[in-house]
Structure formats: structure tokens, C-alpha cells
A and B are shown apart, each in its own frame.
Chain A
């Protein structure tokens, strides 16, 4: 077993050295991901290190050589020119993927994107579905939506209500047990959601905002130490929510038929086809045993009320 420590216990020097020497590995949930940065110390210290410190403070990292990893994400310039002139960054997940170069100061976005890419496309021991997961004492709520459908605001709001964050971007399911696996990385927020979440969670829970990204303004709501502490604790799914945020919409909740839920979940999986029979069985289990609801709402309060009503058995 490698030696690992919370990032807060590792010095800047060590982090930077191990990033450049391809020795830094993140140990979170079921995955060990190697991180590498092909930039000089100054660039790493300015653009990459702060994001790691803020968002992964209590997450375990190792700086040892020879740690086996599930995959590697290499942050580097798209070509030699862009290392120095109007520097850019791309996340290289180690396989052919069309890169969208970002300006170097958007390194946090590149890192998160690189991690998303590698989880979505290179992990086959679990069924991976787009969507977030939070859990209470009696089970997990799967919030199934593509990026930017109000899913992340809802996730953040449920965290505020005391739910544990399992993950924001992906629902990760163990095909043997159909349990939800935690991978508590920061919750990514866009545009209006940023202020909305700031207002109920507090400014200190949100990272600095990146403006003018290809998707507008982006910021991250940190995973809390309690979320990260419980990263090895799984949850049994108990509810599936398909949320739609529509400004000024009247709050509405509707039970979704099993077959419909399955038909919506399958295309939102990134590796369903690769898993074959194992993936199918998970979907059939979810459809058979877990209730699914569609909710439409125009505000955070409304969405929370709807979920409360659903859990209280008041929606049929």
C-alpha cells in the first residue's frame, strides 16, 4: 500500500515536484488517478496548485513513485508554441481525444474536465451515468441530468439540507451490488447558479469564478470534509430524480414509469454498451426497485419542497 496523506499535509514544493515528475496520485473513492503537469514551477504554483488546495484539501494524495493508478491525467500545452506564447492548457487523459485548448489561467477547468473524461471513458468496473448523487441515512438520491440542467444547484441545495455529497458529475454504480459509489469531487456551477448557491451556502464554500469560459462563468462548490471523509462509504439507491429548472415555472412533480426511467437512464450512461449484460442488469434493478420522479421548478426552494413531498410519500 502506498503512503498517502491529505493534501493539506503536503508542502507546495512536494506537490509541484511530484506533479512535474508524474508522481502525484489522487486517492479518492474507488479510483487512484495520476496527475502530471508539464509546466514550469511558477505556472503550476499560479494556476494549478490553488485549485488543488481549495477543492481537494482533505483528499488523500501520494507523492511516491511507482504508485499504481487507474489512469493518468496530464495537464500540458497543446503544442510547444503554446507552452510559452499566450500559454494554453489541455487535459490529456492518455487516449485520443479532441482537445479544446483553454488559456492557462483556466487550468482548474482543464483539470476537472480531464478527470471527468477519464472517469467517463476509461472506467469499466462500474456503470457510469451522467448525474449527481447525494445520500441521507436511508439511501441515495440519483439526480439524473446532463451538465447544466440545474442538477448541480439542486445537488448543492440538498447538501445544505444535510445530505452527503457522493458526487456531482457522475452516478457510479457497482454492478455486483447495485450500490452507489462515492467520488466526492467539487460541484461545478455555471452562470446564475453560482450566485444562487453562494447565497444559501456562503461565499466561503465557492471557489473563485472563472469567467469567459466556453460555457460562460464557472465556479466550484467545495466538497466538505465530512463528504470526503465518507468517500469509501457506499449508499443504496432509494430515489431517482429527473430535474428540470425553468425560470418562473410552477413546481410540479410526476411519477415516472419504470420503463420510461430506464429509457432515460440508458443513453445518459457513458459506458453502458461496454459493460454489456452487467450494465443491463443494473438498469433493470433500478427500474424494478427504485422509484423515479420528474420535477419541474423555478427556484431552489421549490425543488427542495418537491423532493421533501416525494420522500414523504405525498406525490403519486
Chain B
């Protein structure tokens, strides 16, 4: 069933005419955070409540995009006078490049990549412009964890705008088994208009998305990741598609790219998988059960999750972290304004 859903969401198949089936699809899209993307494909083709639901989703994502474009501008302004040209990653890149993958997409945090030896300077310039370390990781324990094991600083939040900025210096964490050669990808990055920040090439955007979806193991919103990969793949011209595998090998992302191509072939019917490329049986199974939402879903998620963390950290550090994390309470904001 879900295989059909993905194709309907991107417009490869028509929407169900039967009301209960249509409602199921909408609920699925909502839960998977892809309703805006679906709306972008199908707006003005429906009527009544369906059209209103789509219109609502589009207004919401338009607000996200406005904020994302402005955040990029604010980061560029903040880094003026430094020698740092950040690379805008993922959703931020798609939006600023106006890629198909950005249309109707919900975005919130801005992710940037800077060289490891410029991280401290970047943080300093940003702090001067009003960003501060996000309260949720502001306790010492999380900060230490982030610095030692993670591929990014703790997230920063802007004092007045409240927006989140993630600064990366690698594309995977130190302990990850699969690690992209970010230096090669950074070297080939191209300038965005205005000349103060960059994005990866179209091929590298695909590779990064693939590794983000499949080597992290979190795969919490499978539809969103797969749809993203679908649109990013569509964004590649034939020459780029032919160069994809060799570039993936070159930057150390072959495994996630293989899985992505297999998933695109399976879920979108794309002719992109060569017969000599294999996908690990266990991972293929795990992904299938998660996306197809079968009763084995929890098992699939567990396998991916443990694998993800296993890939991120040596086990001896992993267990104490899990145990300690459970007992740190987060403060909840006040809800009483909504209570009469």
C-alpha cells in the first residue's frame, strides 16, 4: 500500500477516488511530514476540503521557506569580514537553490558545513550576531558528548528570532563506520547567488541525502527521505546519473547510494539500479518493513536504530549515554495560556 502512496504523493499515480482511501493517504502524508510536498503536486487539481487542506499546507511551507532564505542571508551577513564561506546543507540548500526537492517541503533548522579549523571562529562571529547555544543541550553532559562524538557543535539558537542553526565540520560523526569525504565534496561545492555561501553539486547533494537517510539509521520519516531522494535524482541529468556511482565510490558513499537507488527503483519504479549492485539483505528487509508499515515495523526500526547508533559510537560509550540521558528532565514551556 505504501508503495502506491509514495507514487501518488509525487504525482506518478492518480489520487484514490474512494474517500476512505484518499483520507488514509492524506493522514499518511501528514504523519510523514510530506503533506506540503503532496499539496504542491496536486493543488488546483482538486476541490472542496481537499483543496483547502492543500492550500493550508502550502501557506505553512511558504512561511518555512521565507524563514530559511532569510536565515541564510543572516548567516552570510554575520560572517562578513571573516574568511569563512559556509556550505549550506540539505533542506536549506534545496530551498535556496529552488530545487524541485524544496517545493512544499517543511524546513526548519539551517545546517551549514565549515572546515574543522574554522569552527571556533564561525561560532564566534555567529555569537556576535546573536546566536547562542540552544538551551536544550546547554547542560554540560550533552555539550561534552557533542564535542567529542558528534559531527557538529551543539545546535545554536538565535536570541531574537528563535531559529536553530546547526554547524557541522564533518558529514558523519567521528565514530561512524561510514564517513563521507567531506573535504572532496567541499572542494567541488559551487557558489550560491550573491557569492557568500555555497552548496554541494547536484550529485553530491544526492549522495549526502542518501547517506543521511541510510547510514544514520534513524529513518524516522521514511517517506520524506525517499521523496527527497526521488526529487534529487530527477534533478540529475543523464550525464550526472552516469557519474553518480563513481563519485559515490570516490567520496565513500557507495553503500547508502546503492540502497537509495534500490529504494527508488522499488518505490518509484525508476530504472536506476544496475544488476551487479547488491543491497545487504538485512538492511533491505529492515527498510522494506519500515516503509511498508507492516507489523514487523518496530523490529525494522529497532534494527536500523541500533545499527545507526552502533555506527556512530563505540559500544562502551553508547550504553552509559543511553542510561544517563533518560534521567535528565527537559523543562516544559507553560501551557496555561491555552487553558481558559
Contact, CB under 8 Å: A68 / B336: no
Contact, CB under 8 Å: A66 / B335: no
Which residues of B have CB within 8 Å of A276?
62-63, 66
Q: Tell me how far the C-beta of B63 lies from the nearest C-beta in chain A, rounded to whole angstroms.
A: 4
Contact, CB under 8 Å: A66 / B20: yes
Which of B44-52, B218-226, B302-310, B311-319 lies at the interface with chain A? Answer: B44-52
Contact, CB under 8 Å: A116 / B338: yes
Any B CB within 8 A of the CB of A81: no
Which residues of A have CB within 8 Å of B337?
146-147
Any B CB within 8 A of the CB of A313: no
Contact, CB under 8 Å: B55 / A68: no
Which residues of A have CB within 8 Å of B190?
none
Q: Tell me how far the C-beta of A239 lies from the nearest C-beta in chain B, rounded to whole angstroms.
A: 24
Contact, CB under 8 Å: B63 / A274: yes
Interface string of B36-61 (1 = CB under 8 A from A): 00000000000011101101100110
Q: Which of B211-242 contact A (CB under 8 A)?
A: none
Q: Tell me how far the C-beta of B224 lies from the nearest C-beta in chain A, rounded to whole angstroms.
A: 16
Which residues of A have CB within 8 Å of B55?
125
**A120 to B340, alpha carbons, bound, how many Å?**
14
Given A124-B56, A276-B66: A117 and B338 interface contact (C-beta under 8 Å) = yes
Which of B22-30, B83-91, B167-175 lies at the interface with chain A? Answer: B22-30
Given A100-B335, A117-B338: A66 and B19 interface contact (C-beta under 8 Å) = yes
Chain A contact residues: over half helix, strand or loop, or mixed? loop
Any A CB within 8 A of the CB of B333: yes
Any B CB within 8 A of the CB of A165: no
Query: How many B residues have CB within 8 A of the partner chain?
Result: 28
- Picked from B52, B333, B339, the residue with its CB within 8 Å of the CB of A113 is B339
Any A CB within 8 A of the CB of B332: yes
Contact, CB under 8 Å: A32 / B49: yes
Which residues of B have CB within 8 Å of A99?
335
- Nearest chain-A residue to B27 (Cβ)? A72
Contact, CB under 8 Å: B20 / A70: no
Contact, CB under 8 Å: B66 / A213: no
Contact, CB under 8 Å: B338 / A120: yes
Any B CB within 8 A of the CB of A159: no
Contact, CB under 8 Å: B22 / A68: yes
Any B CB within 8 A of the CB of A209: no
Contact, CB under 8 Å: A123 / B339: no
Any A CB within 8 A of the CB of B276: no
- Nearest chain-A residue to B67 (Cβ)? A273
Which residues of B have CB within 8 Å of A124?
56, 59-60, 63
Contact, CB under 8 Å: B48 / A125: no
Any B CB within 8 A of the CB of A78: no
- Nearest chain-A residue to B332 (Cβ)? A98
Contact, CB under 8 Å: B59 / A125: yes
**A275 to B321, alpha carbons, bound, how many Å?**
41
Contact, CB under 8 Å: B22 / A98: no
- Picked from A66, A69, A97, A214, the residue with its CB within 8 Å of the CB of B339 is A214
- Picked from B19, B59, B62, B340, the residue with its CB within 8 Å of the CB of A218 is B340
Q: Tell me how far the C-beta of A206 lies from the nearest C-beta in chain B, rounded to whole angstroms.
A: 14
Any A CB within 8 A of the CB of B193: no
Any B CB within 8 A of the CB of A248: no
Which residues of B have CB within 8 Å of A1?
48
Those 10 A-B pairs whose CB atoms lie nearest each other, nearest first: A66-B20, A66-B19, A124-B59, A188-B340, A98-B332, A274-B63, A68-B49, A66-B23, A100-B335, A65-B20
Other A-B pairs, 12, CB within 8 Å; known A66-B20, A122-B56: A66-B23, A68-B23, A70-B49, A70-B52, A98-B332, A98-B335, A99-B335, A113-B339, A116-B340, A125-B59, A169-B340, A276-B63
| Interface residues, chain B, with chain A CB atoms under 8 Å away | 18-23, 26, 30, 48-50, 52-53, 55-56, 59-60, 62-63, 66, 332-333, 335-340
